[in-house]
Structure 1
Amino acid sequence: MPLSMTNPLKAADIHSMVTLKAGKVLLLRGHRRDELVIKVETNVQESTVKSSGYVVKALDKLAVAKALQPSEQRELLGYVRRLLEAERFYAEIDGGRQSPDYPNIRLACAAIEEPGGAITKMENLRVLDLNAALQQMCAQHVGTAHGRFVEALTEPGGLEMVGQIVVADLLTGNNDRFDFQYDMPIPKDFGPVTLNFKRLINVGNVMIAIDPSKEGKGSSGYRPVMLDYLDPGSMAMRLMRDPKVRMTEMDSQKWPARRILPDWQQRQKAAEDVAHDLLLCANPFGTNGGVFKHVEDLRVAAGMEEGLRKIIKHLHGRKVHPAIEDLLKLVQKTLK
């Protein structure tokens, strides 16, 4: 069977493996040009993957990660162990010389044996990240990827999608994209250019990806995508490891969603801060302040409102973390 999000992962369906990040992220290739990305999510429980996945699925099905079932983990481990055995065999007959792939395969095997959390699978998307695009634009004056970003954000639904990403990150406790915990400037250097952000803490986690439904329809096909939404380092996600903790037990500093989402004015301020940062990214040299026609804050805010409505509708009747459930009940009362 082809590798997919719906088919169970089987060792026999894997043709080859590529390491994207040693001991953390693998690309599996099947026999029919099918692909899956595997990620070892240290300190993230399977229940957290599932609960966060419900939120993300309401807004961006392309970005959803699924935790591997125990049987799938065994299949993956069996495949990687066989690769390791083959590497050792060929090293023995070649005078002990290891191939360049050996260290990565060994790390992958160790990570899958003792993951320290969930192992997830997700679609392999054609992705551009904003950090790389800005580095190319500012340091090398190569603007192709940067132009793709500006186009994706400017198109109808682009800035709005970022607003949806903001509310999903707030709900799930992801502070590794936009950080609302503290009010202080966040300077980032891109070659000779320094941009002072308000909320954008990890520029590389702002990404656009090819959306098959948009490709070839008068645009580049790129749109903002909600990848990398699991943040094991966030205090909110650590608190949510307790499946019974209520919203009232969550500190609003550690979980900014509690402070921002139930308050319409706070949501507007969050949208303005994010819009400010996106405008800096789109206009790093300060020569075109009207690139978004001066409505970027309104569009991000509209996306946040739309995202909250979609999440509330999608989660109705589903079992989610009680802290998220409590919060959404308050949010619903503030939506126009």
Structure 2
Amino acid sequence: MSYWRQFKNFDPVNGQVPYWPFGKLSGVAWRARSLLRNRTKDQIEQIANTASDSIDEYFRQAKDEEIARLEKEQEWEFLEFDVDGNVRGLNSDRENELDFPTSDNTSDLDALSESVGTWSDIFDDGSPDPEDYEYFAAMALWKLADAIYKVTYSYDFKTGVDVKKDRQKLTPSDLSVAGECAIEAMEAVCHAANLRDARRQEDRYQEKIKAAEKHTSAKVQKANDAKWEAIQAQEAKQKSENAKKMAALSKASRNKSMASVLSQWDQDAALQKLSAAKAGNKLSNWLASQDLEFFEPRTVSLWISAHKKAKSAD
């Protein structure tokens, strides 16, 4: 039975569960309430209503899909038509020959398992939507309420009220139906607990993944930093070595040009009679025509002046 005001006679939050005739029902209630401990009575009732609507919608959709299949495959004998020849629904006389989910061959638990999670924003106050397991915990409570009702009340159609039963006059049918409801309540709360445990395990697994990713990320970052520092150190070393090589090459080139200039000066008496400035100008022009590094006249003049002083000292 789907939810239909079962909590009118049984408070899902703190309603008492009779020990007789099923002593384990109080344990079912405790487990379901534990899973719903953060929910109010009104919220639990809304969860139950939503679960019931989801079950009804599942069966309606299954029936619509079966009708569509029969029309497509032209199995008209299983369909019922109106006076205009339009399909009105299934042929009730042959419906039991068909194989699709109905409330007669599929339990509420199985139907809800197929349809749970399709609803959102079910609370008007903006409270967080229920977890999947909360729907089954609410189902356990309304099935438990069904079991209690069957052995406690009967509906008086004349007065339209529930009247208490005499326990001594309970029929085997009363106990059988109540027992079925009790079993369904137990199955629902067990399913809810399994879903909750699976969710917790998934959450722990995700936390471990995040922690591992964080650790790996930090480890990789550290390795990358060390690698980058090594690259920078290598580049700095290379730059220093290159600078030394360039300095050495530059000095060697300078010395070669200076030696050639001074050799020319030593061999040319006319140059020696000129001032260092004029001789530097001429030899700078000469240097430009040679396969040597070029230097400005001022630099060449300084070479000549220093060379003359050195020769005079000798």
- Fold shared, TM-score > 0.5 on shorter chain: no
1 or 2 for the larger relative contact order (CA 8 Å, sep ≥6)? 1
Structure ID, larger Rg: 2
Q: Please state which structure has a larger fraction of its residues in strand.
A: 1
TM-score, normalisation: structure 2: 0.19
TM-score, normalisation: structure 1: 0.18
Q: Please state which structure has a larger fraction of its residues in helix.
A: 2
